[in-house]
């Protein structure tokens, strides 16, 4: 079920959807669309590389923010924020509600997308969805309920893509609620690469030291294939592996830090 959330909900305190609670052993082997392979937080030796796709682009600080220039990203690109997970390794605290800079983390994630130029944002909710609606201010966003969020991120990715059916969107930019180290500069770079990647056929991903990460952009022609293979916590992993040569990598290691908020120790990244 989707809801056009036009009025701010009540204020209070503020997972990627259905990402479930991943085993610690999986953290080093996750790929874009479900987590992405990425270097440790704070890594300084990032460099352009390949991950089975095209050469990474967008290096240097001049590239930051280009997605918002020249009229901004196409309104046919819809941002899809996955924010449904229950955070079991965080004591059962949904990641969307973790406090960051005085507000729920989901608000911060939406603000990043808006700052990058996204005007159409769908937010997939799951764990404690009613509480998220009550506490987080998400005006203008379409809120998507995923009652099967506990099945894993794949279910939330499917729910989000299904919510875009009939909207006229020709591409979906997917981001994760629990990566506050990825700001608007990285999002803007991925958006900027969309035009050269072939509209509905586009497959674009941020890269960190050449390792594929988030955000990732899927042209509409790929949605059915992604939904058919998105299971458990693997998201789009299988699909992207099969289409690795079609992926345009956009290096973002100089402007973003792709850490996840997965455990109690990771909470030190929040402010």
Alpha-carbon gap, residue 121 to 254, rounded angstroms? 26
Q: pLDDT digit string (tens) for 45-79?
A: 333 333 334 444 443 333 333 333 334 566 799 99
Alpha-carbon gap, residue 195 to 33, rounded angstroms? 20
Residue 15 in this model has a pLDDT that exceeds 50: no
Residue 86 lies in a domain: yes
Q: Which domain holds residue 147?
A: 33-256
Q: Pull the structure tokens for residue 191.
A: 């958006």
Considering only CA atoms, which of 110, 69, 109, 82 is closest in space to residue 195? 69
Question: Phi-psi bin for 149: left (phi > 0), alpha (psi -120 to 50), beta?
Answer: alpha
Q: How many domains does the chain have?
A: 1
Q: pLDDT digit string (tens) for 158-177?
A: 999 999 999 999 999 999 99
Q: pLDDT digit string (tens) for 77-119?
A: 999 999 998 887 888 889 999 999 999 999 999 999 999 999 9
- Kindly give the interhelix angle for 184-192 and 105-115, rounded to the nearest 10 degrees: 40
Residue 72 sits in a domain whose CATH number is 3.90.550.10
Cβ neighbours for 130, distance < 8 A, ≥ 6 positions apart = none
pLDDT band at 266 (very low <50, low <70, confident <90, very high): confident
Q: pLDDT digit string (tens) for 128-148?
A: 999 999 999 999 999 999 999
Residue 271 lies in a domain: no
């Amino acid at each position: 079920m989707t809801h056009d959330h036009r009025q701010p909900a009540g204020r209070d305190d503020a997972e990627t959807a259905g990402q479930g609670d991943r085993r610690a052993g999986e953290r080093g082997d996750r790929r874009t669309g479900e987590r992405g392979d990425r270097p440790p937080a704070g890594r300084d030796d990032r460099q352009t590389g390949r991950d089975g796709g095209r050469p990474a682009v967008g290096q240097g600080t001049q590239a930051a923010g280009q997605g918002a220039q020249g009229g901004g990203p196409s309104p046919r690109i819809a941002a899809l924020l996955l924010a449904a997970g229950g955070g079991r390794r965080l004591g059962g605290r949904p990641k969307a509600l973790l406090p960051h800079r005085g507000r729920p983390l989901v608000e911060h994630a939406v603000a990043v997308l808006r700052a990058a130029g996204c005007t159409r944002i769908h937010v997939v909710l799951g764990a404690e969805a009613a509480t998220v609606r009550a506490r987080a201010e998400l005006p203008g966003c379409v809120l998507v309920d995923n009652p099967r969020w506990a099945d894993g991120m794949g279910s939330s990715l499917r729910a989000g893509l299904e919510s875009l059916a009939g909207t006229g969107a020709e591409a979906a930019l997917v981001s994760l609620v629990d990566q506050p180290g990825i700001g608007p500069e990285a999002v803007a770079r991925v958006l900027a690469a969309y035009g050269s990647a072939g509209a509905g056929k586009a497959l674009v991903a941020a890269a960190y030291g050449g390792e594929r990460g988030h955000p990732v952009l899927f042209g509409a022609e790929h949605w059915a294939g992604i939904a058919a293979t998105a299971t458990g916590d693997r998201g789009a992993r299988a699909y992207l592996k099969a289409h690795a040569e079609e992926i345009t990598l956009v290096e973002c290691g100089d402007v973003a830090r792709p850490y996840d908020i997965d455990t109690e120790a990771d909470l030190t990244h929040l402010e």
